[in-house]
Chains A and B, each alone.
Chain A
Amino acid sequence: SFEVTQPPSVSVSPGQTATITCSGESLGNKDASWFQQKAGQAPVLVIYQSKKRPSGISERFSGSSSADTATLIISGAQVIDEADYYCLAWGGDTVVFGGGTKLTVL
């Protein structure tokens, strides 16, 4: 079955760029979504179709995709960006979440 893999944690200092990867076979040929989830809250969509940003989401969030990897990029990370981030790979009837990445900004 199709699987995608994320690093368990990423840590950056405020103002730095945070990069979170999502790896899976031929992931570059699939659409990916990214979600931010803060403690006790429902997830929020921050990127869809691998690189598109929903209205209302900060321009600091961007996405890219190539070969077997989708990437979430948070430019100028802020303390408010501390959260768990999940990728979601869309493969027709096979839709899979990554295991999640805890982003620490300090």
Chain B
Amino acid sequence: QSVLTQPPSVSAAPGQKVTISCSGTSSNIGYNFVSWYQQLPGTAPKLLIYDNNKRPSGIPDRISGSKSGTSATLGITGLQTGDEADYYCGTWDTRLSAWVFGGGTKLTVL
């Protein structure tokens, strides 16, 4: 059971938009910054979003992040087949004094 809650799967057609939610509590998302990671099949996770809504260099602007209260959302527009991957949210949990992840969401581009 993950500390952060994500939907197990989402899907959308190429070119469409998808959002992935991440729900937490006041001791993690409600108090700290959220980051998002993309894990392509058979590879290590890669940073997509940091500090709730910032993109590292090389991440396209069709990728976005937001946070409100104890929830965060990852958005991807202009979906491509290459976006098919598992997506994880993560943050520091102040009560646990540990990093926590969501359970991951599998994105399927139909």
Does A pair with B? no
